[in-house]
Amino acid sequence: METQALIAFFEDLHRHPELGFEEVRTTARVREALTAAGVELLDTGLKTGLIAVVRGSRPGRVIGLRCDMDALPIQEESGLAYASQEPGRMHACGHDFHTACMLGAALLLKEREKDLAGTVKIVFQPAEELGTGGAKSVVDTGLLSDVQEFYAIHSYPYFDPGALGIKEGPVMAAPDRFSVTLYGKGAHAAQPHDAIDPVPALAALIQGFQTAVSRNADPFDPAVVTIAHVQAGTAWNVIPESALLEGTVRTLDNGVRRMIRDRLEKLTSSIAAAYGCTAEFRYVEGPDPVVNDAALCAVCKDLALRMGFQVDRQEDTMGGEDFSEYLKICPGVFVRVGTGGHVASHHPAFTVDSAALPAAAEFFASLARERAEYM
Ligand code: NI
Which band of pLDDT confidence, cut at 50, 70 and 90, is reported for residue 315?
A: confident
> Where is average pLDDT lowest: 177-191, 306-320, 346-360?
306-320
Ligand 1 mean position to 374 CA, how many Å? 30
- Rounded Cα distance, 289 and 321, in Å: 8
Ligand 1 mean position to 218 CA, how many Å? 29
Ligand 1 mean position to 78 CA, how many Å? 17
Ligand 1 mean position to 128 CA, how many Å? 7
- Rounded Cα distance, 224 and 220, in Å: 13
pLDDT at position 231 = 98
The pair phi, psi for residue 202, each rounded to 5°, is -60, -45
pLDDT at position 38 = 98
What's the chain's average pLDDT? 97
Residues 6 or more apart in contact with residue 174 via CB below 8 angstroms:
249, 250, 251, 252, 254, 257, 285, 286, 287, 288, 289, 320, 324
- Rounded Cα distance, 86 and 74, in Å: 10
Ligand 1 mean position to 313 CA, how many Å? 18
Reported pTM = 0.93
pLDDT at position 1 = 81
Cβ atoms of 35 and 110 closer than 8 Å: no
- Rounded Cα distance, 202 and 369, in Å: 56
Ligand 1 mean position to 172 CA, how many Å? 11
Which band of pLDDT confidence, cut at 50, 70 and 90, is reported for residue 66?
A: very high
Ligand 1 mean position to 58 CA, how many Å? 35
- Rounded Cα distance, 89 and 69, in Å: 13
Three-state DSSP class for residue 83: coil
Ligand 1 mean position to 39 CA, how many Å? 26
- H or E segment at 62? strand 58-68
pLDDT at position 84 = 98
pLDDT at position 254 = 95
- For residue 90, the 8-state DSSP code is B
Residue 132 has pLDDT above 80, yes or no: no
- Rounded Cα distance, 303 and 309, in Å: 9
pLDDT at position 374 = 76
What is the set of domains in the chain, with CATH numbers? Answer: 3-171+290-373 (3.40.630.10), 174-284 (3.30.70.360)
Cβ atoms of 48 and 23 closer than 8 Å: yes
Average pLDDT rounded to a whole number, residues 78-89: 97
- H or E segment at 150? strand 149-156
Ligand 1 mean position to 155 CA, how many Å? 8
Ligand 1 mean position to 76 CA, how many Å? 16
Of 80, 103, 91, 78, residue with least CA distance to 5: 103
Ligand 1 mean position to 93 CA, how many Å? 5
Ligand 1 mean position to 253 CA, how many Å? 21
Ligand 1 mean position to 166 CA, how many Å? 16
Pairing outcome for strands 238-239 and 149-156: unpaired
Ligand 1 mean position to 109 CA, how many Å? 24
Ligand 1 mean position to 105 CA, how many Å? 19
Ligand 1 mean position to 112 CA, how many Å? 29
Ligand 1 mean position to 361 CA, how many Å? 17
Ligand 1 mean position to 272 CA, how many Å? 38
217-254 confidence digits (pLDDT tens): 999 999 999 999 999 999 999 999 999 999 999 999 99
Which band of pLDDT confidence, cut at 50, 70 and 90, is reported for residue 314?
A: confident
Ligand 1 mean position to 216 CA, how many Å? 31
Ligand 1 mean position to 114 CA, how many Å? 33
Residue 213 has pLDDT above 90, yes or no: yes
Q: 140 in the Ramachandran plot: left (φ > 0), alpha (ψ -120 to 50) or beta?
A: alpha
- Rounded Cα distance, 333 and 299, in Å: 10
Ligand 1 mean position to 125 CA, how many Å? 11
